[in-house]
Amino acid sequence: MALHYRKRGKFWHVRGTIRVGRRIFKVQEHSTGCLVKSEAEAVGAGEEGRIRSEALEGATPRTRSVTVGECIAIYRIRPGSLHPFDEALLLELQSVMGSVPLTQVRTAWGAWLRDRGKELAPSTVARWRSTLKAALNYGADEFGTTVPTLRAVQNAETERIAYLTKAQEARLLAAYSPWAAPVMLVLCETGMRTQEALRLDWRCVDWDRNVLLIEHTGRADGARTKTKRSRRIAMRPVVRTSLMTIWKERNRPETGPVFLSRWKRPYSDTRRVGGNPLTSAHRTACRKAGITDFRIHDWRHHGDRTWPVPAPNGRPTVNS
């Protein structure tokens, strides 16, 4: 009976049993957060010592010695699914601060903000923070301890402005995969948010008035806008042509999602499962087009969006 190690991906994992007198403690398989086996064995030895100490001295020392890595490990194997983005995020955090005791997590988080966090947008840092807090809170509850409050992310809602030249715009749009290109064209030409475009329904495409209705239903499983207000967006000719092509190819549906994934399935609500399903396609297209520092959300602020919008009575108004 002993601890066993195996490499899964980049990190070494540990599992096994530890005997203390007549008692046997089972160690569920989890990542040590170490890239080198000798370091993983050192982590395992430390965990074995902690288990022996707790078995002999009681659980009091346990609340003082719980680490960030232990919380992340138990959170990752909890019942339920974990989004791949959050899985990768937690593995990286585990490799950086896995050995840090919970009592020192605020210091470790501050160091992470100064180092890795400075490379990320505030909204992305907020995602890292919320995922880490979920793991720490879950682990703390399991181990019967508490978690210090992590420093909040400033300006998480601040939106930056980024523009492309017309040549760059054309080059990037042409570089997208065929299944992603129609969505990206709509984002570029309308300034819609990604979630609004992915959840767009054919009944919200008004061919007669030449507008797209971005509706807010108020239902948890329905369409929702960030401002909780419905609005109309004019279809420029290039958008109308693109959507008309898709509509005809699908035999002119009256309802149903406008955009489908590369597997011909409706997109999930990213506000619930997390992660933008277009990220990989966008990153690949940017690399092909030679575009740097331009995110999917930057399409929302790109270009001049003051153009005529048909009014209900047929007279044009201005959408600014």
The Cα-based distances of 84 to 23, 81, 91, 98, 260 in angstroms read 37, 9, 11, 19, 20
For the segment 211-237, the average pLDDT, to the nearest whole number, is 68
pLDDT confidence of residue 175 = 96
pLDDT number for residue 287: 93
| Residues 18/51, Cβ–Cβ less than 8 Å | yes
For the cut 70, the answer to whether the pLDDT of residue 38 exceeds it is: yes
Per-residue pLDDT, 242: 95
Name which residue leads in pLDDT, 157 or 2. 2
Question: CA 181, CA 187: separation in Å to the nearest integer?
Answer: 10
Is residue 222 pLDDT above 90, yes or no? no
pLDDT score at 9: 79
For residue 72, pLDDT over 50 is answered with yes
DSSP code for 202: G
Over residues 89-96, the mean pLDDT reads 90
Confidence check: pLDDT of 306 > 80: no
In this prediction, residue 223 has a pLDDT band, given cuts at 50, 70 and 90, of: very low
Each residue of 245-272: pLDDT tens digit? 999 999 999 999 999 988 888 887 655 4
Q: Say if residue 79's pLDDT is above 70.
A: no
Residue type, 106: R
**pLDDT over 90, % of the chain:** 22
What's residue 226's pLDDT?
52
Q: 309: pLDDT confidence band, cut at 50, 70 and 90?
A: very low
Calculate the alpha carbon distances from 47 to 21, 40, 50, 55, 190 in Å: 17, 11, 5, 12, 55
Neighbours of 70 (CB within 10 A): 21
Task: Using CB atoms within 10 Å of the CB of residue 258, give its burial: 0 to 12 exposed, 13 to 18 middle, 19+ buried.
Answer: buried
Residue 119 in tokens: 């490379």
Per-residue pLDDT of 102-151, as tens digits, reads 888 988 998 888 888 887 878 888 888 888 988 898 888 777 788 888 87
Res 224 pLDDT > 70: no
Mean pLDDT within 66-93: 82
State yes or no: pLDDT of 305 exceeds 70: no
Are residues 187 and 294 in contact, defined by beta-carbon separation less than 8 angstroms? no
pLDDT digits (tens, 9 = 90+) for 163-197: 677 788 899 999 999 999 999 999 998 888 888 89
Average pLDDT for the chain = 79
Which one is predicted more confidently, 308 or 70?
A: 70
